[in-house]
Structure 1
Amino acid sequence: MEQPENEASNTPTAHTSMSDRAKSAVTRLIMSLGSGEHIIVLAHEGSMAAAHVEIMELDALGAAACDAGELDALTALLAKSFTGALGGLVVRSRRGPGAEEEIVRGWRVRGRWLSPITEGEVFSAYCTHHETGEPISPEPNVTYRAGITLPQPARDA
């Protein structure tokens, strides 16, 4: 017997709310990253979205050079994740053109927001084979860091 769908999560208002939350989260994430080249990847229930964001200088508006389609796909998948499904987001950053060192940070989707994971959790995620669970060597020139705490929208604080 099929279970009825949760009507509250499928209403236009609920969808708009999740879309707005996702846009806010992505904007706050980009603003927190600072200048550099950033690859943002979100995985959610077997789906994946990625966006390449280049931030030359962050002004008061948070101007960033990026592919709008990639950013829209990332935001849409994040909104879907906020409806209660599991998801995780990682950012791989380089601080300038030709920079060899990369910084990797991570977040999990929790409570309709992005919750930072610890440096150890990021390291473990990147240095454990996803199928076998066996350890793998860290990548050269990569620093694993905890995710940055992103303030939630005021109405949710």
Structure 2
Amino acid sequence: MKYEIILFDVDDTLFDFKMAESHALHNTFTQFGLPQGATEYKSSYDEINSVLWREAEEGLITSAQLRVERFKRLFTVHKLDFNPDAFSAAYLRYLGEGAFLMDGAVELCDVLSEYRLAIITNGIKEVQTSRIQLSPLRDVFEQVIISEEVGCQKPQAGIFD
């Protein structure tokens, strides 16, 4: 069987999301005057963020709500006095800088260049677009399909349609 199109996820497939997230959390907490915050609160953040992403994938909250709610909950749990909207905006800006590729991603895409390549991601539009544009993979994909833009999340069939 010969494939015509190969679909990729972005996070932890082509791009090292853990590295991008660490970069974003560290820089955001540092900007807000708490340089050890990323280390101190990472475990709580991961738990909160995981629950909210599951809720987003189930359609219980929107991506826009998730962006701020994760920090509202984190700040409530740890009694931190930061504006969650401002913190979220800074975090997303730093996350969008995180164009850290997984080892072998460029080489893999080069080997597959005879195929039509596309991305399907549940990530946040401006973050994913920025990360892809900052990377050496910016011109590799015929399409970048982002759940926010098409109105459904993976694994729903609609995003693949």
More strand by share: 1
With structure 2 as the length reference, what TM-score do the two structures score? Answer: 0.30
More helix by share: 2
With structure 1 as the length reference, what TM-score do the two structures score? Answer: 0.31
